[in-house]
Structure 1
Amino acid sequence: MRKTLAVLTGIALAAGLTSPAFGTGAAPSPTAATASGTAVVEWNRELITILGDPKAQPATIQPTRSFALLQAAEYDAVVSISRGGPAYLFSVSAPRGARADAAADQAAHDVLVALYPGKRAGVDQRLSSQLSTIPGGPDKQAGTAVGAEVARRLISLRSDDGSSATPPPFHPGDKAGDYRPTPPDHPAPVFTDWGSVKPFVLTSGRQFRPAAPPAVSSGAYATALNEVKGLGSKTSTTRTADQTAAAKFWSAAPVWNVWNQIAQNLVTSQNTSLEQAVKVFARLDLSLADTTIATYDAKYTYRVWRPVTAIRLGGTHYNPRIVGDPNWTPLLKTAPDPSYPSAHAALSQAAATTLAGFYGARHRLTVTSKGITRTFAGFQDAATEAWLSRIWAGQHTSLDNRAGQQLGTQVAGFVAGRL
């Protein structure tokens, strides 16, 4: 009966309803199903702030790994106490009455300190602020013990996942279609071995590897590239002002930051419970982390050159349907990795699929990034604009985008079946 009542109360709060009063005694300690998910949002923001410092971690470590570790730890800490769902990896023994909110705070703190020891002062301050709102006593102490143990186990388990391996040297190809560093600076490609990092939920990075793209000599490739040539040029006369704004919006901040901020707004505006909040963020960030691994697996399997390379070398007649332009320049600077599939498409589709599973397909969104605001009628609208923006920015073809969209959908669906 107690468990049923807690579940019903959580549903009422999540729906914005007023729960009835039961007796006139002192209010019981909140459960994971009734406690606020605001602290989960605050820890997510703390990580974004940390990552705003380019020196916070090695450039070879993909940030989506950190989000996944943070949110998985909070999730398993809460579920260890609430028993409100299957654990992601493990449950820690917790005495009756242990505070799930204290467990989530301690788990988040310990993960961030382990990942970013140089940021400990700020993270310690955040923990002190969060725990100060929870009454002292054995229940609070029990909760923090659970959170600490979950974080310790998770960090230990992921210590040999391959993320710290030194990337091997990259040797660019010289045949038509082979990826090579891009102008104007020709930077070395990034995350060349991230596809071999151990996934969080998938069995391997190649589990949903998309099929090989059409040959660069094909008609399908010519059609896709010519679209980018017209719409994605820095001096395009066919790209609209709104398309230009969208291209700049989706390039202004890391795409995983944007989707985590969308989740922050949802959890806050919906008055989401602690139990639901940790589930939303865990499913979102585990999906984003594994989609990133799967995307890099495919990128460095196929090693397809970027549109700027393909257009500038069009005069080599590798495809008679493409007219080369050695001076063609994209609207925005090209990202330093292969073109197929598009990471923006894959990550945004994974995020949209995940969030729609919680909040429904049609959910009006207003998102601000780096001073630019965009409004969408639903999650899929936002994801679609994200991948179209890469054409408008001169970064990707529709072939890259379709492969990424498929990949993101598959990964998100697989993760949703786990928790």
Structure 2
Amino acid sequence: MSSTPQKTAIEDLYRQESRRVFATLLRLLGDFQLAEEALQEAFIAALKQWPSDGVPANPRAWLVSAGRFKAIDALRRQSRFIKGLDDIADSIDAATPDYAGLADDEIGDDRLRLIFTCCHPALSEDSRVALTLLEVCGLTTEEIASAFLCKPSTIAQRIVRAKAKIRAAHIPYQVPGAKELHGRLNGVLQVLYLLYNEGYSASAGDSLGRMDLAVEAMRLTELLLQLQPHAETMGLLALMLLQESRRDARCSEDGELILLPDQDRSLWKQDDIRRGAGLVRGALLRGPVGVYTIQAAIAAVHAESPNAAATDWAEIVGLYDVLMGLSPSPIIALNRAVALGMRDGPAVGLLHVDGILRSGELHSYHLLHAARADFLRQLGERDAALAAYKQALGLVEQTTARRFLAGRVAELESA
């Protein structure tokens, strides 16, 4: 096989498996920086060897083995300058197995361990989320910053502080026991929720979403549900399934965005809808009800409506009222305002959106200006709608959404 296909195979493997390899290396080596350097060295070794030797039958195990060996070798070289590193290298060598002879499916999945380490309560909430999105999911600091609506430098500082805290506090790399698990669950669910959102609706870039992130979020949530069948874990998985059921209908064949009311519902995945709706019912019965279960219930109302006109907007508004009681936020208030506009008319929706805008909390959030523009357009306020669409267009970073808003601007300018 030529070097080009081999290089492509390695690049694909890096995208698909690098975080899983990293999680195992972190368990073996016990240090974030050492594990990250070992991961990079392992892939460099693969780029050198695989084009001539061929891709091994067990590529993930090969990479773990190579990374472990490179890390031990690096520690021994550095021990000439830093006292004690030789002992650390000997300890790692003696205490950790060499994975070279194992099949890939014989290596346990360490990402759930890594999530619980990154989401330890000793870390601040913002640091937990940022660290997990970086280390477990492989997002860049720029992507995380975009999701948080803040600067990349701020995210980088949070991550540095979080890693320092893990080292200083000797936070264990493990899934907690049953007694601790419940108290740490919310932080993990928040991370999985943000990860899925980035996968379903990317905050920036050319793609509307990133399927790899969405699949990873769903897989990890399934693992968590098997570990402990908590109602909110059921609710979060239900929300993901119900959102995922609409993925194929969100874009036209030429890549243009299609809003929910205009989607071809025959493209919605009924298996995902049935399972998601079943999980919602199970979560509501099990209790206690939380924010993910209520959001999933809202998604279920949409998913089970035969068409847009039949959507029960009164029920959706009621569910948003519950959601605001559980976790009030300007984003939820905006979604509720849109639902009110659908139930009671665009003038009512605009009134509530303008109230949020006056508070200043979402002034830089393009969806607020887009919602306001849509209500103004429905009310026949062409100039005001055009100005609001242009404001939304100036804030959006995602290419597909940008094209959609540009189309609305062009439509009103030519009217």
Based on CA coordinates, which of the two structures has the bigger radius of gyration?
A: 2
Same fold (TM over 0.5): no
TM-score w.r.t. structure 1 length?
0.26
Greater share of residues in helix? 2
Greater relative contact order, per chain length (Cα 8 Å cut-off, separation 6+): 1
